[in-house]
Structure 1
């Protein structure tokens, strides 16, 4: 475009930025009021947690609903393993019996336990006669049993000291909860607290000025605070949980910092090119502001995909993530322009000279390269010189990385897979399962009848107990607890297979498909859903697998449509989807290689896991598909902008990629660093999430956006902008374009004035 031509900056983002800059204090005040009100109302409303009965579908849901409707509070059950260490002693020996009696007395004397049972009464003695289980329930609510179990643990430890020839160890819901909280309770808090300083440090390096670095972090934190309040209000319609809060914090920090980074970098770039503060702000609003809105809506759509799973935890995560992205997006295009207008040159305060010497020339000319990256400039010259070769090499490398994903094995991780040797209770868990297969995680049959003590019901319960063992689904003992007042009985069935989930799953199927229909199923009016750890995992997996297709279809189709109306190009919409899928595939391949096959597993502390946690692939797809759009929209918007200003397609690609490389790199480094923090946690599921997210973002910001995208666009040439005539009626959301930067500063523009070039 020749110098002297003008263009009007238009669109929602430009108008929002213009209003915000003109009404600076009002914009800031409204934002602060919104954050305070959201937090206050959320605190007053309180947060409704996801109920156990809503966690899953299938029989697990039915069983939990029966228990909930009956008002039965299942206590936290505990078990003490008493086992011969060496020698030929048996559970029938006098010394062994003395130890059992001592354990029962010690547990009862704490006053924290009830229904303490002897293994000689319940027949919980192992087949080889060398192990026995003392079982009891914790008094009080099961959710807080971990806070009250310590005296019982100490009492059991005291008995162990008096009987060194035996192994005496406690395991159960309460003791596992306590050990987990003691070992890892602060892990999440440490990771969350360290994420903000890490992001701030990287931004300080990127901008070289303290005030400029603080702005993105401040925006992200206020967006997270407001969303926490909104979660309390919304939880009365869609219950929330702690997992949703952690994911919301991760996503909020990532997109909040990214959006502010995009906006601030463009504003500084325009000012460095010689524009007035007002004109630079208007151009940043029209360009980066528009990219933020397009990206934000796309991310929100991707997060909404989790609402199709039918799983309460996923629905909570999706809604919480969607809200924080929407809040961060609105804040970026409203309060940020006001803050930049208020600060003016003071945004450069706290400058660190050795990090970023002022590159603006003293004679007023623009900085060389207009903020272009020399490294990516060199890479782009190679890519654009031979785009075909670059495409084949980069795509081939990513396909090779993604290849292991074809053999992905997913499962709910067992205790030893999740924690390895980091928890002493893992050893106890394995010893109980070896001696009593399935004993630590029995199937639980919740039987409801009109009269639980009716003769036909009692007979069916007895038959079920007998056939559960004779069918091979269990080796027993099968325990029955009856609640007369509620006409409900609980049947506890140790499953053959124990911690081997595949074999335990086969035993569960045998109970559900054969034993139950042949016994309890023949009594009219009896409900007998089967729940428990193994059943819960199976029902979760079945529901998750059933939701994969609709979630994938929803996210891909709506992302495609958003790209189509945002860029009015069928080609760009298609390539954006293909590149994002390739990025996600590569992340899957890395996960499988590291955590399933063990390639480099020692580097991240993941030896011996052997599987990917079931929920992760779908979760990663939704999160990564959304976050990847940040970079894609930002880079392609800049390329399209340059193309509409008269540059050739090849030149526009060069200009768009190298001028956005700095901000994309900074944003990616922040995301990778934050996600990598979660990759350091002890839980393998969190480690897999952190490693998967960090690897995908790194690949996306480098190979995808720096090599594949420009190579594909260079090969397509003018076909990048192809839109069939029959699609011309689509809404036009592409009008927020800016003029080329100029060298001499421009006078401050007023509302409705054209900005000269």
Structure 2
């Protein structure tokens, strides 16, 4: 297959480039509409009780409250003065006329003291914004444009609640993406110039990255037309597309320049590049995609969206590298070295052994325990904050403090006696006797932290009927709804315990209550994700083991890779917990400390694990090649790292930059994702590949290449190699595979057949 790709690139290079240019233009036009189709949210399990409760409330009761308008009187006067009340009633009347709103309730038409601030200077208007996520965002923006700010020069109106938070988050994601790209792309270009020392060679990886990014936006646009896709997936598309596009093109370009430096003809250089580095790209893409595919087991479309985007961008980066890069090489030929930078010395960028990495490997292997144990100790220390890790889902605190929806949420918590918008909403989908409903509401009102329970049978507090008329809007002939308002901080541990206690209360006979609301959604989301994490981890581990076994012919190498990757990921997650949960560096980075966002933590694990396999392939393949040539393990490790060290360090720096750029994001969980993914890449490339790999290989010795006889035969038939299935090797040795070909020396002797 790879020979046919090379032949096609040589014979039809200009046609391939024309087709690629047209495809880029088409993908750019299609991808431009992606942002109008992508959604905020997506953190809830659609099959959970809280999601089912929300759907029933939408169908039968007009929807849960998801918009809170905080209305203040001009000049700081009380909201119950005659003039303010008159204007407030006019505002509410206008809002009730809006077709995009339902269940509009306010202090002025209910007289409820709970809808007035403790100092009497602000009042609440609560409503449900109709529509799906995208429609809600448009409707919220319309309400803000129409009523936000100052109303009739008498009232100040600010918006909060779930719909407003989602709108602010979606807007901020786009702003963060633009800023990250503005930082990452120029900085990446500078680093490429440093790595390649040639303007033309440096631009080639950037071209592949742009193709991958535009293609992924087009993919998201298409997916957004047929299923729910999170707008946050655009951040992954940019970071991963830029990083992997450069990563794969870096391999190909380095290999091609190396071949030219030996005096090979352009056509021969293209064939050899595709045959070696091209095979590496295909295998590497498969390992990364396999790790990201684990995200598809989760029901939340936030996580599934990252799986869609990740698999798509990996595939696009690999395909464009395999087809477009060889065509570019065929057209450019020796001009790939044009535009040499002043600091570039002749021959420096043509490939070969990086002596620093080789010397480091030899030093580590001379005293493996002495050199590796301190590194291991530092990584374990970095992982120690995981002992106190807690999890949550995004709320208004992920936004910058200046965001209006966050300010409204803070005011509700501080100045009001409980919030209907943050209440638990219980739905009974059957007709219920009034006496039984009253007894149920009364028992619920006696739970710790509950301020009141509203129902069609009356309002209850502290286990008894309270002042206030029954709300007939909460009752239907075939369903009942109860609103449990508490004084607890939303999403706190106490609020989550209240969800469990509410669900444990005996319901009226013959009913199956569904408990919804923001705290119920949090509990259900964490249960849903937590229940599927073992399956996702098992899938990642299994696919990694199988692919690395097919690659190396050893059962020990995959196990070593899994253990070392687990240590580096533990260190990364520990550092992120220390920063984002414990609050260290919060002043510098400008975020509010809170429990680790559970979906983003799972995402970061899958992303970092998949990317670490890139470097595992680069390093292990070169070591295996030398081992198959008869070199002892120690020399193979030292020379293998010497040959692959430069490309691993360069690729890691370039890939980390694209993720670190998201450290500038205003949304805190995107900061965590960017900084965590970048840190994981650097830890893996430096600490793991530089120290732990040579130390573990030295300690394992010949055992590193062990496989049982049956598996050796399986590898002999199905194993991956540059020339097709490998012959069955002895003692666990596999066939020659050159995933580090981009840095291999042109003078390397031809491989001998496995013994």
TM-score bracket relative to the smaller structure: 0.7 to 0.9
Deviations 1:102-127 (A, max 9, x none): 43335546876774533572523379
CA contact (8 A) 2:115 2:124 kept: no
Q: Which structure 2 residues correspond to residues 213-232 of structure 1 after superposition, within 5 A? A: 213-232=202-221
1:712 to 689, 696, 708: 696
Match of 1:280 among 269, 275, 287: 269
CA contact (8 A) 2:418 2:486 kept: yes
Q: Distance in 2 between matches of 1:311 and 1:67?
A: 20
Alpha-carbon shift at residue 720 of structure 1 (Å) = 2.8
Equivalent residue for 2:346? Answer: 358
Residue-by-residue CA offset, 1:60-83 (whole Å, 9 max, x unaligned): 232244356669566753233669
CA distance in 2, matches of 1:231, 1:585: 31
1:56 to 34, 46, 50: 46
- 1:432-468 deviation digits (Å, cap 9, x = unpaired): 123323444122234444xxxx6x4555554444433
Q: CA deviation at 1:643?
A: 2.9
Q: 1:145 aligns with which of 135, 139, 147?
A: 139
Q: Confirm or deny that 1:426 pairs with 2:415.
A: no
The 1:345–1:657 alpha-carbon spacing in structure 2 relative to 1, beyond 3 Å, is same
Corresponding residue number in structure 1 for 2:363: 382
SS in 1 for 2:401: coil
**Unaligned stretches of 5+ residues in structure 1:** 1-11, 162-167, 361-365, 747-753
Q: Does 2:488 match 1:508?
A: no
Q: Deviations over 1:33-52 (max 9, x none)?
A: 66567678889999686997
Q: Are 2:593 and 1:609 aligned? A: yes
Give the corresponding residue for 2:184: 195
Q: Deviations over 1:270-305 (max 9, x none)?
A: 322444433333333233222212211111111111
* Rounded Cα–Cα distance in structure 2 between residues aligned with 1:179 and 1:300: 31
CA offset digits 1:577-625 (Å, max 9, x no partner): 111111111101111222223344444334x504311223211111111
Q: Secondary structure at the match of 1:437?
A: coil
The match for 1:540 is 525
How many Å apart are 1:558 and its aligned residue?
Answer: 1.1
SS in 1 for 2:324: helix
Secondary structure of 2:574 counterpart:
helix
Q: Is the 8 A contact 2:38 2:229 kept in 1?
A: yes
Deviations 1:650-706 (A, max 9, x none): 232222212222222221112221111111212211111112111111101111111
Q: Is it true that 1:582 corresponds to 2:567 in the alignment?
A: yes
2-structure distance, mates of 1:276, 1:620: 44
Q: C-alpha offsets along residues 391-435 of structure 1, whole Å, 9 cap, x if unaligned?
A: 22222221222122222122225434x236333553432231233
Alignment pair present for 1:294 and 2:283 = yes
Q: 1:134 aligns with which of 119, 124, 138?
A: 124
The residue number in structure 2 matching 1:633 is 617
**Aligned partners of 2:681 and 2:499: how far apart in 1?**
40
Q: 1:413 and 1:17, CA in 2 relative to 1: closer, same or farther beyond 3 A?
A: same
Q: Contact 2:66–2:161 (CA<8 Å) still a contact in 1?
A: yes
> How far off is 1:137 after superposition?
3.2
- The farther-off stretch of 262-271 and 36-45 is 36-45
Note the C-alpha offset of 1:317. 1.5
CA contact (8 A) 1:473 1:511 kept: no
Name which of structure 1's ranges 215-224 and 407-416 shifts more when overlaid on structure 2. Answer: 407-416
Query: Which residue number in structure 2 is paired with residue 498 of structure 1?
Result: 489
Specify whether residues 133 and 498 from structure 1 end up closer, same or farther in structure 2 by C-alpha distance, changes over 3 A only. farther
1:422-501 superposed matches below 5 A: 422-423=402-403, 425-434=405-414, 435-449=416-430, 456=432, 461-472=437-448, 474-476=450-452, 478=454, 482=473, 490-499=481-490, 501=492
Deviation readout 1:4-39 (Å, 9 max, x if unpaired): xxxxxxxx4455334433442344455456656767
Greater shift after overlay, 690-699 or 486-495? 486-495
Match for residue 159 of structure 1 among 151, 154, 159 = 154
Change over 3 Å in CA distance of 1:325–1:180 after alignment to 2: closer
Unpaired segments ≥5 residues, structure 2: 456-470, 724-736
- How many residues get paired? 703
Deviates more, 1:642-651 or 1:203-212: 642-651
Distance 2:301 2:165 in 1: 24
CA spacing shift, 1:372–1:609, aligned 2, 3 Å: same
Matching residue of 1:724: 708
The two structures have a TM-score, normalised by structure 1, of 0.83
Moved more, 53-62 or 683-692: 53-62
**Partners of 1:104 and 1:134 within 8 A in 2:** no
> Hey, what does 1:7 align to over in structure 2?
none
Structure 2 match to 1:597: 582
Contact 2:42 2:230 in 1 (8 A): no
Q: Which moved further from structure 2: 537-546 or 103-112?
A: 103-112
Would you say the 8 A contact 2:9–2:326 is kept in 1? Answer: yes
Q: Mark the CA change 1:80 to 1:463 in structure 2 (over 3 Å): closer, same or farther.
A: farther
Range with bigger deviation, 375-384 or 581-590? 375-384
1:409 correspondence with 2:390: yes
The answer (yes or no) to whether the contact 1:495–1:508 under 8 Å persists in 2 is no
Instruction: Provide the rounded CA distance (Å) in 2 between the counterparts of 1:589 and 1:76.
Output: 35
Q: 1:259 aligns with which of 226, 248, 264?
A: 248
Q: Is the 8 A contact 1:145 1:174 kept in 2?
A: no
The SS at the match of 2:232 is helix
Deviations along 1:158-182, whole A, 9 cap, x unmatched?
A: 4368xxxxxx865445654666567
Residue 670 of structure 1: aligned partner: 654
Partner of residue 248, structure 1: 237
Q: Does the 8 Å contact 1:53/1:65 carry over to 2? A: no
Q: Which residue of 2 aligns with 1:209?
A: 198
Q: Deviations over 1:119-166 (max 9, x none)?
A: 5725233799534633243787533233222342223594368xxxxx
- Is the contact made by 2:365 and 2:695 (CA closer than 8 Å) also made in structure 1? yes
User: Taking structure 1 as reference, are residues 275 and 712 closer, same or farther at Cα in structure 2, changes over 3 Å only?
Assistant: farther
> Residue by residue, what CA displacement relative to the aligned partner does 1:462-489 show, whole Å, maximum 9, x if unpaired?
4444433233452126365738899665
Between stretches 582-591 and 250-259, larger displacement belongs to 250-259
Alpha-carbon separation, structure 2, partners of 1:340 and 1:246: 31
State which of 663, 673, 689 in structure 2 corresponds to 1:679.
Answer: 663
* Partners of 1:484 and 1:610 in 2: CA distance: 38
Residues 1:659 and 2:643 are matched in the alignment: yes
* In structure 2, C-alpha distance between the alignment counterparts of 1:287 and 1:395, rounded to whole Å: 34
Aligned-partner Cα distance in 2 for 1:107–1:212: 63
Q: Secondary structure at the match of 2:422?
A: coil
1:603, 1:130 → 2: CA distance? 35
- 1:305 aligned to which of 270, 273, 294: 294
Q: 2:542 aligns with which of 557, 578, 584?
A: 557
Which of 696, 699, 705 aligns to 2:680? It is 696
Distance 1:18 1:658, change over 3 A: farther
Conserved 8 A contact 2:577-2:596: yes
User: Displacement, 1:183?
Assistant: 6.3
2: CA distance, partners of 1:279 / 1:663: 23
Corresponding residue number in structure 1 for 2:175: 186
Determine if the alignment matches structure 1 residue 566 to structure 2 residue 551: yes
- C-alpha deviation, 1:560, in angstroms: 0.6
| Pair 175,387 (structure 1): closer, same or farther in 2 beyond 3 Å | closer
Which whole-Å deviations, capped at 9, do the CAs of 1:536-595 have from their partners, x for residues lacking one? 111110101101110101100111111001111222211111111111111011112222
Is residue 733 of structure 1 aligned with residue 720 of structure 2? yes
